[in-house]
Amino acid sequence: MKRLYIVLTALLISNATFAFETNKPDKKLVAEYLVAAKFEDAANATLAAIVERLPKNTPPEQLAALKNALNKTMGWDATKDQLADLVSNTYTKQELEAYIQFSKTPAGISYSEKITPFSKGFSEIVIQNEANLKKAEQPSK
């Protein structure tokens, strides 16, 4: 009886693993999703929003160094593989296929066109909230 339980448990686990693996999107589908969802544009908009908030009198060499540092840590080339892994481990093949299909409809096209300004606006909200927090934390004189 004990052996039967072990065999059945092993079969259930292997079936569940097989079902998950066949539902897991491949790299090509993930790449297609990242393009359809305009993640590269969103990443660029986020970095641009950060740079826009810098003091206007920032010396050009400091500005260039900061842009370089941001690109190396938060830019598309620095994060795309990690993002692809996150997408692959979060969404099923069917979910990505459905999103890609949606992205080709009029509503999906409209949605995609708004991703970049939305990302930029969200970045500005976060930056402003951080600035407000720093002001609130400063002791009043």
Confidence of residue 42 (pLDDT cuts 50, 70, 90): confident
In three-state form (DSSP H/G/I as H, E/B as E, the rest C), the secondary structure along 11-73 is HHHHHHHHHHHHHCCCHHHHHHHHHHCCHHHHHHHHHHHHHHCCCCCCCHHHHHHHHHHHHHH
User: What is the number of structural domains in the chain?
Assistant: 1
Residue 130 included in any domain: no
Residue 131 included in any domain: no
**Among the listed residues 63, 40, 41, 37, the one whose alpha carbon sits nearest the alpha carbon of residue 50:** 63
Q: Are the C-beta atoms of 84 and 27 separated by less than 8 Å?
A: yes
Q: Residue 111 is part of which domain span?
A: 25-125
Average pLDDT over residues 38-61: 88
Residue predicted with more confidence, 3 or 60:
60
Give the mean pLDDT of the chain. 85
CA 37 to chain centre: 10
* Dihedral pair phi/psi, residue 119, rounded to 5°: -60, -40
Residue 96 included in any domain: yes
CA 140 to chain centre: 39
Residue 75 included in any domain: yes
Output the pLDDT for position 1.
62
Helix-strand-coil split of the chain, %, nearest 5: 85, 0, 15
Residue 56 included in any domain: yes
pLDDT tens per residue across span 94-110: 999 999 999 999 999 99
Residue 84 included in any domain: yes
